[in-house]
């Protein structure tokens, strides 16, 4: 990757920040670089992830699914088995250790669906940090259970009422807080986006996924996989697993975006594979955003709450240009079918986000040879998606259950 001093990857990345944040970001860069060149930091990180999050996460051979599809052999990297149920904890615990090194005692974070907020609040409880989370008003209403857990974990949840009251507005609010609190506070950004050094730093913490996956797949099968599939929201889980294979040019890396109701519908979050993805500068970085013809940020849609960010990691935008990563999109309907199949064939419930990677693998596996290997990164577990999945599968028993609950509630029972 190029020009890592200023955080550019080809034409993407950089640090588009206010004067006041400059000091703080440069302080962060200094500490991050020192940690990165100090082997004891990574050792401490690895043993923390071992004792607290159950790492290394397993690589599971999906034998039934592979036989059913009749093509490539499918292996699943089980990030769903992490503490808090997804890969997000990898980034958050890494930044927690760095916060401790910087001598700071307060952390702030943005959250959309609430997953990153819960992970950050968990880390803050573990490290004994004060914690405030910024969350858009609409998301607060949609994601009550996550707000509940953040508060029980000791975090203060600040409701953001600016703009569209969603994730991008929460990010702006968190940057505003940081401008005034940088002496005591670290901003734990949740994905490989934002100004330098966040994209590189988050990708570094997530690289633990790819390191393990490469070692595991080679140990188990005696060879390298043909393709790796990962879903792409901001880009952290995909960069995490891909980074273990960047130098192995025979391994094809496939990033899967949220195709929503289809690319033609305009209701999707496909920044890298749709014509609505255009280069712009926002949220501290130059990258590809979903925009209309006037350059206005466009509302996104996805069945999964974790893939509908308007921008994407500048590192991935660059990897599209260099063609090291191939990008695809899976529609909501394909994703629901992938969840159904994975549950029935393997007894594994993927998060709706992760199911985008499964959907694409399911499309491609039958056309591949039986001795080829695929790795799907299961970024998280799907328990959290029970309401959406039940609704999408039109389960009649579930509908009866919901109606009974609603009637009991209305009757004041
Ligand atoms: C947040 C989330 C994602 C999307 O974020 P990335 O930074 O693109 O990895 C994907 N899967 C799950 C389970 C998530 O919680």
The chain-wide mean pLDDT, for the chain, equals: 95
Which of 53, 66, 79, 88 is catalytic? The answer is 88
Going from the Cα of 190 to the center of ligand 1, the distance in angstroms, rounded, reads 9
Is 380 inside a domain boundary?
A: yes
Mutate which of 82, 113, 231 for ligand 1? The one with the most ligand atoms within 8 Å of its CB, which is 231
**Distance from the Cα of residue 397 to its chain's centroid:** 32
Stated pTM of the model: 0.96
* Section 242-248 average pLDDT: 98
Establish whether 364 is a catalytic residue: no
* Section 148-164 average pLDDT: 96
Percent of the chain clearing pLDDT 70 (strictly above): 99
Ligand 1 atom index nearest CA of 116: 1
Ligand 1 atom 10: the closest Cα is on which residue? Answer: 353
If phi > 0 it is left, if psi is from -120 to 50 it is alpha, else beta; for residue 133 that is beta
Q: Please check whether residue 326 is in contact with residue 253, taking contact to mean a CB–CB distance below 8 angstroms.
A: yes
Same domain flag for 235 and 125? no
Establish whether 267 is a catalytic residue: no
Mutate which of 82, 87, 230 for ligand 1? The one with the most ligand atoms within 8 Å of its CB, which is 87
Percent of the chain clearing pLDDT 90 (strictly above): 86
Going from the Cα of 259 to the center of ligand 1, the distance in angstroms, rounded, reads 15
Ligand 1 atom 7: the closest Cα is on which residue? Answer: 236
pLDDT at residue 22 tops 80: yes
Tally the residues of the chain: 413
Same domain flag for 299 and 381? yes
Which of 110, 212, 276, 337 is catalytic? The answer is 110
**What residues flank ligand 1, with Cβ below 6 Å?**
86, 88, 115, 191, 231-238, 306-307, 351, 353-354, 379-380
Per-residue pLDDT, 413:
60
The CATH number given to whatever domain includes residue 151 is 3.40.50.1100
Is 399 inside a domain boundary?
A: no
- Distances in Å between the Cα of 163 and the Cα atoms of 16, 58, 132, 168, 341 are 20, 41, 20, 9, 39
Same domain flag for 241 and 299? yes
Ligand 1 atom index nearest CA of 351: 13
Ligand 1 atom index nearest CA of 232: 8
| Structure tokens given for 51 | 């004792």
The 3-state DSSP class for residue 376 equals strand
pLDDT at residue 1 tops 50: no
The model's pLDDT over 100-136, given as tens digits with 9 standing for 90+, comes to 999 999 999 999 999 999 999 999 999 999 999 999 9
Mutate which of 88, 94, 230 for ligand 1? The one with the most ligand atoms within 8 Å of its CB, which is 88
E-state strands within 137-219: 156-160, 185-187
Same domain flag for 227 and 368? yes
Is 413 inside a domain boundary?
A: no
Which one of 172, 198, 224 terminates a domain? 198
The model's pLDDT over 76-108, given as tens digits with 9 standing for 90+, comes to 999 999 999 999 999 999 999 999 999 999 999
Is 319 inside a domain boundary?
A: yes
Which one of 168, 198, 228 terminates a domain? 198
Per-residue pLDDT, 377:
98
Nearest to 143 by CA among 384, 383, 317: 384
Going from the Cα of 408 to the center of ligand 1, the distance in angstroms, rounded, reads 36
Task: Kindly list the strands in the beta sheet with 373-378, ordered across the sheet, starting from the edge strand earlier in the chain.
Answer: 59-61, 73-78, 373-378, 227-231, 252-260, 325-331
Q: Sort 52 into a burial class: Cβ within 10 Å, 0-12 / 13-18 / 19+.
A: middle
Is 192 inside a domain boundary?
A: yes
Same domain flag for 134 and 23? yes
pLDDT at residue 183 tops 70: yes
Is 400 inside a domain boundary?
A: no
Same domain flag for 153 and 107? yes
Range of the domain at 146: 10-50+87-198
Which one of 147, 164, 198 terminates a domain? 198
Going from the Cα of 351 to the center of ligand 1, the distance in angstroms, rounded, reads 9
- Tell me the backbone φ, ψ of residue 131, rounded to 5 degrees: -140, 130
Is 101 inside a domain boundary?
A: yes
Find the range with the poorest average confidence among 147-161, 256-270, 327-341, 389-403. 389-403
Same domain flag for 182 and 305? no
Find the range with the poorest average confidence among 48-57, 111-120, 160-169, 319-328. 160-169
pLDDT at residue 2 tops 70: no
**Distance from the Cα of residue 192 to its chain's centroid:** 8
Same domain flag for 282 and 156? no
Q: Please check whether residue 238 is in contact with residue 255, taking contact to mean a CB–CB distance below 8 angstroms.
A: yes
User: Which has more confidence, 86 or 2?
Assistant: 86
Alpha-carbon gap, residue 351 to 374, rounded angstroms: 19
Same domain flag for 254 and 190? no
Establish whether 104 is a catalytic residue: no
- At residue 313 the predicted structure's pLDDT band, cuts being 50, 70 and 90, is very high
Is 367 inside a domain boundary?
A: yes
Per-residue pLDDT, 398:
80
Structural domains counted in the chain: 2
Going from the Cα of 233 to the center of ligand 1, the distance in angstroms, rounded, reads 6
Per-residue pLDDT, 6:
81
Same domain flag for 254 and 144? no
DSSP state of 227: E
| Cα Rg of the chain, angstroms | 20
Task: Produce one character per residue of 87-117: b if its CB has 16 or more CB atoms within 10 Å, e if not.
Answer: bbbbbbbbbbbbbebbebebbbbbbbbbbbb
pLDDT at residue 170 tops 90: yes
Task: Kindly list the strands in the beta sheet with 185-187, ordered across the sheet, starting from the edge strand earlier in the chain.
Answer: 156-160, 130-136, 106-111, 185-187
Alpha-carbon gap, residue 246 to 238, rounded angstroms: 12
Mutate which of 233, 269, 300, 312 for ligand 1? The one with the most ligand atoms within 8 Å of its CB, which is 233
The model's pLDDT over 47-58, given as tens digits with 9 standing for 90+, comes to 999 999 999 999
If phi > 0 it is left, if psi is from -120 to 50 it is alpha, else beta; for residue 13 that is left
* Section 338-359 average pLDDT: 98
Same domain flag for 230 and 350? yes
Q: Please check whether residue 388 is in contact with residue 303, taking contact to mean a CB–CB distance below 8 angstroms.
A: yes
The model's pLDDT over 204-231, given as tens digits with 9 standing for 90+, comes to 999 999 999 999 999 999 999 999 999 9
Per-residue pLDDT, 238:
98
Same domain flag for 257 and 347? yes
User: Which has more confidence, 393 or 114?
Assistant: 114
């Amino acid at each position: 990757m190029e020009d890592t001093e200023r955080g550019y990857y080809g034409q993407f990345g950089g640090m588009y920040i206010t004067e006041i944040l400059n000091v703080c970001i440069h302080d962060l860069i200094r500490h991050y670089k020192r940690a990165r060149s100090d082997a004891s930091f990574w050792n401490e990180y690895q043993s923390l992830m071992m004792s607290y999050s159950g790492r290394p996460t397993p690589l599971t051979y999906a034998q039934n699914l592979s036989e059913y599809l009749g093509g490539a052999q499918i292996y699943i990297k089980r990030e769903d088995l992490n503490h808090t149920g997804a890969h997000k904890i990898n980034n958050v615990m890494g930044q927690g250790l760095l916060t401790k090194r910087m001598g700071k005692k307060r952390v702030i974070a943005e959250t959309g669906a609430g997953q990153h907020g819960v992970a950050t609040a968990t880390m803050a409880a573990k490290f004994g940090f004060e914690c405030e989370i910024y969350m858009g008003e609409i998301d607060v209403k949609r994601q009550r259970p996550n707000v509940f857990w953040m508060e029980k974990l000791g975090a203060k949840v600040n409701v953001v009422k600016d703009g569209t009251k969603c994730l991008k507005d929460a990010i702006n609010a968190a940057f505003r807080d940081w401008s005034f609190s940088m002496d005591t506070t670290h901003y734990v950004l949740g994905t490989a986006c934002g100004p330098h050094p966040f994209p590189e730093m988050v990708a570094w913490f997530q690289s633990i996924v790819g390191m393990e996956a490469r070692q595991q797949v080679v140990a188990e099968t005696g060879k390298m996989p043909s393709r790796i599939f990962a879903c792409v929201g901001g880009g952290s889980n995909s960069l995490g697993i891909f980074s273990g294979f960047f130098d192995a040019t025979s391994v094809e890396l496939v990033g899967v975006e949220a195709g929503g109701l289809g690319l033609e519908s305009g209701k999707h979050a496909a920044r890298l594979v749709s014509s609505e993805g255009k280069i712009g500068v926002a949220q501290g970085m130059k990258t590809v955003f979903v925009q209309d013809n006037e350059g206005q940020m466009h509302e996104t849609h996805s069945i999964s709450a974790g893939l509908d960010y308007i921008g994407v990691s500048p590192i991935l935008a660059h990897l599209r240009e260099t063609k090291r990563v191939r990008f695809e999109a899976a529609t909501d309907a394909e994703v629901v079918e992938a969840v159904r199949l994975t549950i029935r064939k393997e007894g594994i419930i993927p998060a709706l986000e992760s199911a985008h990677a499964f959907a694409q693998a399911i499309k491609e596996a039958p056309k591949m040879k039986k001795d080829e290997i695929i790795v799907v990164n299961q970024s998280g577990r799907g328990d959290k998606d029970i309401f959406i999945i039940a609704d999408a599968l039109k389960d009649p028993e579930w509908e009866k259950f919901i109606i009974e609950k609603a009637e009991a509630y209305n009757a004041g029972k």
